[in-house]
Homo-oligomer: A and B are copies of this chain.
Amino acid sequence: MLFDLSKSIEILERTPTVLKTLLSNLSPEWTHQNEGGETWSPYEVIGHLIHGEKTDWMVRTQLILSQEENKTFLPFDRFAQLNEGVKKNLSALLDEFQALREENLAALKAMDISPANLEATGIHPALGKVTLAQLLSCWTVHDLGHIVQITRVMAKQYKDEVGPWIEYLSVLHK
């Protein structure tokens, strides 16, 4: 499948509702436990997604399409959500993510991006030159990857409860 802006937006606009449907009003045993060690709980993943809406995807999109001479992205802090002072509850975080995503997609659509725009480039601080199409593809895959992570973390909470079925449940082996 080749990059397609409208097909990317199909995914990006669903993610907040998917996460609300999956996580709202669940017991904290499902939402606030991780996979062990320094891994993230579903709650922490939502904080990470919020940080991306604020500082990553659209900021970089705007930089790529701007008249700035220096198109090097600021590094993205992948652990920012772990260092926040006051902890909001999960329901507030899900609402915040949805509102930020709606604003960002409205802004993205208003940019009326052309095929030539999609080939415009910026400089990733570690990966080097990247195109706008690659950035928007990455945003889409990043959403799906974190839904994978959240549901895998939830599944693992029952790792010791499935008895001999563990052999067939490959999600528990990862």
Contact = CB atoms under 8 A, between A and B. Distances in A.
Interface of A: 1-4, 7, 10-11, 14, 17-18, 21-22, 26-27, 29-30, 33, 124, 127-128, 130-131, 133-134, 137-138, 140-142, 144-145, 147-149, 151-152, 154-155, 157-158, 161-165, 167, 169-172, 174
Contacts of A21: 14, 17-18, 21
Of the listed residues A14, A134, A141, A157, the one surrounded by the most CB atoms of chain B closer than 10 A to its CB is A141
Contacts of A161: 1-3, 133-134, 137
Given A21-B21, A128-B164, A164-B124, A141 B1 contact: no
Contacts of A172: 141, 145
A75 to B, nearest CB: 12
B14 A22 contact: yes
Given A22-B147, A127-B163, A130-B163, 19 more contacts: A1-B33, A1-B158, A1-B161, A3-B161, A7-B29, A10-B27, A17-B21, A124-B165, A128-B164, A130-B164, A130-B165, A131-B163, A133-B161, A137-B162, A141-B171, A144-B151, A144-B155, A145-B151, A148-B171
Contacts of A131: 163
B165 A138 contact: yes
A83 to B, nearest CB: 20
B148 A152 contact: yes
Contact of A1 (B29, B142, B167): B29
A142 B137 CA distance: 29
A74 B30 CA distance: 31
B151 A138 contact: no
Contacts of A144: 151-152, 154-155, 171
